[in-house]
Protein backbone atom coordinates (compact mmCIF):
# COMPACT_ATOMS: atom_id res chain seq x y z
CA UNK A 1 0.00 0.00 0.00
CA UNK A 2 1.17 3.52 -0.76
CA UNK A 3 2.27 5.60 2.17
CA UNK A 4 0.68 8.88 3.05
CA UNK A 5 2.00 12.04 4.67
CA UNK A 6 -0.18 14.32 6.75
CA UNK A 7 0.58 17.28 9.00
CA UNK A 8 0.52 16.17 12.64
CA UNK A 9 -1.90 18.87 13.74
CA UNK A 10 -4.14 21.64 12.49
CA UNK A 11 -6.49 24.17 14.06
CA UNK A 12 -9.71 25.56 12.71
CA UNK A 13 -12.25 28.08 13.97
CA UNK A 14 -15.77 26.84 14.46
CA UNK A 15 -17.95 27.56 11.44
CA UNK A 16 -15.01 27.89 9.08
CA UNK A 17 -13.91 25.35 6.51
CA UNK A 18 -11.27 22.85 7.58
CA UNK A 19 -8.94 21.78 4.78
CA UNK A 20 -6.84 18.74 5.63
CA UNK A 21 -4.06 17.88 3.18
CA UNK A 22 -2.59 14.49 2.40
CA UNK A 23 0.33 13.55 0.19
CA UNK A 24 0.40 10.13 -1.47
CA UNK A 25 3.02 10.59 -4.14
CA UNK A 26 3.58 6.85 -4.68
CA UNK A 27 -0.07 6.00 -5.21
CA UNK A 28 -0.82 3.47 -7.91
CA UNK A 29 -3.57 3.61 -10.50
CA UNK A 30 -5.88 1.20 -8.72
CA UNK A 31 -5.46 2.57 -5.21
CA UNK A 32 -8.32 4.45 -3.63
CA UNK A 33 -7.91 7.29 -1.15
CA UNK A 34 -9.92 6.78 2.04
CA UNK A 35 -10.49 9.20 4.87
CA UNK A 36 -11.46 8.16 8.39
CA UNK A 37 -11.55 10.06 11.62
CA UNK A 38 -11.21 8.94 15.20
CA UNK A 39 -12.70 10.84 18.05
CA UNK A 40 -10.97 10.18 21.34
CA UNK A 41 -11.52 6.66 22.69
CA UNK A 42 -13.84 5.63 19.86
CA UNK A 43 -13.47 3.46 16.77
CA UNK A 44 -12.61 5.17 13.47
CA UNK A 45 -15.50 6.64 11.53
CA UNK A 46 -15.65 6.41 7.75
CA UNK A 47 -15.84 9.80 6.06
CA UNK A 48 -15.33 9.52 2.32
CA UNK A 49 -13.24 7.88 -0.37
CA UNK A 50 -12.32 8.46 -4.01
CA UNK A 51 -10.21 7.25 -6.89
CA UNK A 52 -9.60 10.21 -9.18
CA UNK A 53 -12.75 12.32 -9.28
CA UNK A 54 -13.69 14.77 -6.58
CA UNK A 55 -16.28 13.40 -4.22
CA UNK A 56 -18.82 14.97 -1.88
CA UNK A 57 -21.17 13.54 0.70
CA UNK A 58 -23.06 14.84 3.70
CA UNK A 59 -19.93 14.90 5.82
CA UNK A 60 -17.20 16.26 3.62
CA UNK A 61 -15.69 16.83 0.20
CA UNK A 62 -12.62 15.12 -1.18
CA UNK A 63 -10.49 16.91 -3.72
CA UNK A 64 -7.91 14.76 -5.52
CA UNK A 65 -5.28 16.40 -7.70
CA UNK A 66 -5.14 15.45 -11.35
CA UNK A 67 -1.88 13.53 -10.89
CA UNK A 68 -3.41 11.84 -7.81
CA UNK A 69 -0.32 12.51 -5.76
CA UNK A 70 -2.21 14.49 -3.15
CA UNK A 71 -5.69 15.12 -1.87
CA UNK A 72 -7.55 17.45 0.47
CA UNK A 73 -10.41 16.65 2.77
CA UNK A 74 -12.72 19.60 3.27
CA UNK A 75 -15.12 19.96 6.16
CA UNK A 76 -17.15 22.93 4.93
CA UNK A 77 -18.39 24.22 8.28
CA UNK A 78 -16.37 22.76 11.11
CA UNK A 79 -18.01 22.29 14.50
CA UNK A 80 -16.52 21.46 17.88
CA UNK A 81 -17.61 17.85 17.37
CA UNK A 82 -15.31 17.60 14.38
CA UNK A 83 -12.30 17.69 16.70
CA UNK A 84 -10.63 14.33 16.00
CA UNK A 85 -7.65 12.62 14.42
CA UNK A 86 -8.15 12.41 10.67
CA UNK A 87 -6.51 9.58 8.76
CA UNK A 88 -5.79 9.55 5.05
CA UNK A 89 -5.23 6.01 3.74
CA UNK A 90 -4.67 4.56 0.31
CA UNK A 91 -6.03 1.11 -0.39
CA UNK A 92 -5.70 -1.24 -3.29
CA UNK A 93 -9.05 -2.42 -4.52
CA UNK A 94 -8.90 -6.18 -4.62
CA UNK A 95 -11.89 -8.31 -5.39
CA UNK A 96 -12.52 -11.10 -2.92
CA UNK A 97 -9.05 -10.86 -1.49
CA UNK A 98 -7.50 -10.20 1.86
CA UNK A 99 -5.47 -7.49 0.22
CA UNK A 100 -7.07 -4.11 0.41
CA UNK A 101 -6.33 -3.85 4.09
CA UNK A 102 -6.21 -0.43 5.71
CA UNK A 103 -2.92 0.59 7.28
CA UNK A 104 -3.18 3.66 9.43
CA UNK A 105 -0.51 6.32 9.66
CA UNK A 106 -0.32 8.94 12.39
CA UNK A 107 -3.03 11.15 10.92
CA UNK A 108 -3.76 14.83 11.59
CA UNK A 109 -5.12 15.99 14.92
CA UNK A 110 -7.72 18.60 14.01
CA UNK A 111 -8.76 20.89 16.81
CA UNK A 112 -11.80 23.08 16.23
CA UNK A 113 -11.96 26.00 18.61
CA UNK A 114 -14.91 28.24 19.47
CA UNK B 1 -22.99 3.67 7.01
CA UNK B 2 -22.99 0.07 8.13
CA UNK B 3 -23.00 -0.78 11.83
CA UNK B 4 -20.38 -2.84 13.60
CA UNK B 5 -20.60 -3.65 17.29
CA UNK B 6 -18.11 -4.95 19.81
CA UNK B 7 -18.56 -6.62 23.14
CA UNK B 8 -17.50 -5.97 25.80
CA UNK B 9 -16.71 -2.28 25.62
CA UNK B 10 -14.18 -2.65 28.40
CA UNK B 11 -12.78 -5.51 30.40
CA UNK B 12 -10.43 -5.89 33.31
CA UNK B 13 -8.78 -9.24 33.91
CA UNK B 14 -6.00 -10.82 35.94
CA UNK B 15 -2.68 -11.67 34.41
CA UNK B 16 -2.65 -15.19 32.96
CA UNK B 17 -6.33 -15.37 32.13
CA UNK B 18 -7.86 -15.34 28.65
CA UNK B 19 -10.24 -12.72 27.33
CA UNK B 20 -12.63 -13.01 24.41
CA UNK B 21 -13.79 -10.01 22.42
CA UNK B 22 -16.68 -10.24 19.98
CA UNK B 23 -17.15 -8.24 16.79
CA UNK B 24 -20.49 -8.30 15.00
CA UNK B 25 -21.70 -6.79 11.75
CA UNK B 26 -25.27 -5.83 12.53
CA UNK B 27 -26.82 -5.01 9.18
CA UNK B 28 -24.71 -6.89 6.67
CA UNK B 29 -22.82 -10.13 6.28
CA UNK B 30 -19.08 -9.73 6.31
CA UNK B 31 -16.82 -12.41 4.89
CA UNK B 32 -13.84 -10.35 5.94
CA UNK B 33 -13.22 -8.64 9.25
CA UNK B 34 -10.10 -7.07 10.66
CA UNK B 35 -8.62 -6.68 14.13
CA UNK B 36 -6.56 -3.70 15.21
CA UNK B 37 -4.79 -2.70 18.38
CA UNK B 38 -4.11 0.83 19.54
CA UNK B 39 -1.84 1.89 22.37
CA UNK B 40 -2.24 5.32 24.01
CA UNK B 41 -1.32 8.22 21.77
CA UNK B 42 -0.46 5.88 18.93
CA UNK B 43 -2.17 4.99 15.67
CA UNK B 44 -4.11 1.83 14.93
CA UNK B 45 -2.00 -1.21 14.18
CA UNK B 46 -3.49 -3.95 12.05
CA UNK B 47 -3.15 -7.31 13.80
CA UNK B 48 -4.92 -9.75 11.53
CA UNK B 49 -7.46 -10.32 8.80
CA UNK B 50 -10.31 -12.62 9.73
CA UNK B 51 -11.89 -14.63 6.93
CA UNK B 52 -15.18 -16.46 7.41
CA UNK B 53 -14.68 -20.20 7.23
CA UNK B 54 -10.90 -20.12 7.01
CA UNK B 55 -7.83 -19.31 9.04
CA UNK B 56 -7.00 -15.75 9.90
CA UNK B 57 -4.05 -14.01 8.28
CA UNK B 58 -1.77 -12.39 10.82
CA UNK B 59 0.44 -9.37 10.28
CA UNK B 60 4.15 -9.76 10.78
CA UNK B 61 5.11 -9.80 14.44
CA UNK B 62 1.66 -10.73 15.75
CA UNK B 63 1.61 -14.03 17.63
CA UNK B 64 -1.19 -16.17 16.26
CA UNK B 65 -1.13 -18.50 19.26
CA UNK B 66 -1.61 -15.59 21.61
CA UNK B 67 -4.30 -13.79 19.65
CA UNK B 68 -6.77 -16.44 18.53
CA UNK B 69 -9.24 -15.36 15.90
CA UNK B 70 -12.39 -17.23 14.98
CA UNK B 71 -14.76 -16.12 12.22
CA UNK B 72 -17.36 -18.85 12.42
CA UNK B 73 -20.25 -16.95 10.88
CA UNK B 74 -20.78 -14.14 8.42
CA UNK B 75 -21.69 -11.71 11.19
CA UNK B 76 -19.34 -12.65 14.02
CA UNK B 77 -15.61 -12.68 14.54
CA UNK B 78 -13.98 -13.22 17.91
CA UNK B 79 -10.54 -12.31 19.20
CA UNK B 80 -9.26 -14.22 22.21
CA UNK B 81 -6.25 -12.85 24.03
CA UNK B 82 -4.75 -15.94 25.67
CA UNK B 83 -2.72 -15.81 28.87
CA UNK B 84 -3.03 -12.06 28.98
CA UNK B 85 -0.28 -9.98 30.53
CA UNK B 86 -0.16 -6.31 31.47
CA UNK B 87 1.61 -5.45 28.22
CA UNK B 88 -1.47 -6.70 26.35
CA UNK B 89 -3.48 -3.88 27.85
CA UNK B 90 -4.67 -1.85 24.90
CA UNK B 91 -7.64 -0.66 22.86
CA UNK B 92 -8.77 -3.41 20.50
CA UNK B 93 -10.84 -2.39 17.49
CA UNK B 94 -12.46 -4.52 14.83
CA UNK B 95 -13.72 -3.58 11.41
CA UNK B 96 -15.88 -5.33 8.86
CA UNK B 97 -15.77 -5.01 5.11
CA UNK B 98 -19.08 -4.49 3.36
CA UNK B 99 -19.45 -7.06 0.58
CA UNK B 100 -19.15 -5.95 -3.02
CA UNK B 101 -22.77 -6.60 -3.87
CA UNK B 102 -23.74 -3.95 -1.32
CA UNK B 103 -20.94 -1.43 -1.83
CA UNK B 104 -18.69 -1.74 -4.87
CA UNK B 105 -15.61 -0.41 -3.07
CA UNK B 106 -16.18 -2.72 -0.08
CA UNK B 107 -15.81 0.04 2.49
CA UNK B 108 -14.67 -0.98 5.95
CA UNK B 109 -16.65 0.10 8.98
CA UNK B 110 -15.26 0.01 12.47
CA UNK B 111 -16.60 -1.07 15.80
CA UNK B 112 -16.49 1.16 18.88
CA UNK B 113 -13.51 -0.66 20.36
CA UNK B 114 -12.82 -2.70 23.49
CA UNK B 115 -10.53 -1.41 26.17
CA UNK B 116 -8.60 -4.21 27.85
CA UNK B 117 -6.78 -3.74 31.14
CA UNK B 118 -4.71 -6.63 32.43
CA UNK B 119 -3.73 -6.39 36.06
Residue-wise pLDDT for A46-92, tens only, equals 999 999 999 999 999 999 999 999 999 999 999 999 999 999 999 86
Q: Are B63 and B69 contacting, i.e. CB atoms less than 8 angstroms apart? A: no
Helix, strand, coil percentages in chain A from 3-state DSSP, rounded to 5: 5, 45, 50
Q: In this complex, do A102 and B34 lie within 8 Å of one another by their Cβ atoms? A: yes
* A7 Cβ contact list (under 8 Å, min separation 6): A21, A108
Phi then psi for residue A67, to 5 deg, are -85, 0
Q: Could you say which residues from 8 to 47 on chain B have a Cβ atom under 8 Å away from some Cβ of chain A?
A: 32, 34, 36, 43-46
Least reliable range by pLDDT among A95-99, B9-13, B74-78, B93-97: A95-99
Q: Is A57 on the interface with B (CB under 8 A)?
A: no
Q: What is the pLDDT of residue A41?
A: 87
Q: What is the pLDDT of residue A56?
A: 96
pLDDT at residue A97 tops 70: no
Amino acid sequence: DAKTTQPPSMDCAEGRAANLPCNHSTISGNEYVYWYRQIHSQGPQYIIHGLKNNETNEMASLIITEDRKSSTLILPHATLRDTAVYYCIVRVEMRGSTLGRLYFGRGTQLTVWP
Amino acid sequence: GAVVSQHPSRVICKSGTSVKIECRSLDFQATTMFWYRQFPKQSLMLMATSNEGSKATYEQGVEKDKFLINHASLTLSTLTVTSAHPEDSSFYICSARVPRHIERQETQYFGPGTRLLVL
